């Protein structure tokens, strides 16, 4: 039986790479985005491996229409939802931010994930062993300076993931998240922070896409692994946050991601 996966924000970047990876692995992939940049998928659309469409993740009605369109081609079921759509701005909170910019990040990164989970639930619940995979971030390990609002939204995604994984277990739906560090995508074009300079931007969209696809396909285990850090640096930071006291985690994170003076 062919498996189906719907990916938000998948016209470019990590979402596009994940769509290609999963299509190669035999999935029917829903590629839905606010941007109509689907030329790269033309052959896969013709072959039936990919279906494309428009989606504004901030609009619940857009979610409902997109999911209805995609599941009309899957028999009304949905094996996996990947909440991938996201935006960011970098820089000191008071220098680079504004009410409107802050609100846009919350609307896309946080509300977009909530909207996707709520709209997809009926389809996921109608499917055996369904799954949600939220693209989170290493910025959810500890609040990240110069990316305060982005970091806050990813902490929200972390919370959504953990809560719904427990709440939806009764519906046979697992909820997981993928945590990359900085990746070479258009989202980071023109963005330079202390963190990007100190840690580097070494991950590619394909690196993260493979991680997303692996989590999509990962069998369920007991006890469950809910969060999946991507890349050596993120894995070390994530592991360290579980064993070091809060004050030490703060100090290490500040040294790695900021140019601000910090003391123990």
Among candidate residues 89, 150, 182, 228, the one labeled active-site is 150
| Half-sphere exposure of residue 119: CA atoms within 13 angstroms, side-chain side | 28
Q: What is the phi-psi region of residue 240: left when phi exceeds 0, alpha when psi lies from -120 to 50, beta otherwise?
A: alpha
Is 99 catalytic? The answer is no
Q: How far is CA 44 from CA 39, 76, 82, 133, in A?
A: 10, 21, 19, 23
Q: How far apart are alpha carbons 55 and 62 in whole angstroms?
A: 6
Residues belonging to the active site: 150
């Amino acid at each position: 039986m062919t498996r189906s996966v719907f990916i938000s924000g998948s016209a470019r970047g990590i979402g596009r790479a994940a769509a290609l990876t999963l299509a190669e692995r035999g999935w029917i992939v829903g590629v839905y985005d606010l941007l109509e940049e689907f030329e790269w998928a033309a052959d896969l659309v013709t072959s039936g491996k990919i279906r494309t469409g428009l989606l504004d993740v901030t609009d619940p009605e857009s979610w409902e229409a997109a999911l209805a369109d995609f599941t009309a081609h899957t028999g009304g079921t949905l094996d996996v939802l990947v909440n991938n759509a996201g935006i960011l701005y970098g820089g000191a909170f008071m220098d680079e931010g504004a009410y409107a910019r802050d609100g846009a990040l919350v609307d896309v990164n946080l509300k977009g994930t909530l909207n996707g989970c709520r709209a997809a639930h009926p389809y996921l619940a109608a499917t055996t062993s369904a799954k949600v995979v939220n693209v989170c971030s290493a910025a959810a390990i500890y609040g990240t300076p110069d990316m305060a609002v982005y970091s806050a939204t990813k902490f929200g995604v972390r919370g959504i993931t953990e809560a719904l994984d427990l709440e939806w277990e009764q519906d046979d739906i697992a909820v997981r998240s993928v945590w990359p560090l900085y990746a070479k995508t258009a989202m980071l074009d023109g963005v330079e922070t202390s963190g990007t300079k100190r840690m580097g931007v070494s991950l590619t969209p394909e690196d993260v896409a493979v991680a997303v696809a692996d989590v999509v396909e990962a069998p369920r285990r007991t006890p469950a692994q809910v969060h999946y850090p991507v890349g050596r640096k993120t894995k070390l930071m994530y592991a360290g946050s579980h064993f070091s006291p809060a004050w030490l985690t703060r100090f290490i994170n500040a040294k790695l991601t900021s140019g601000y003076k910090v003391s123990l």
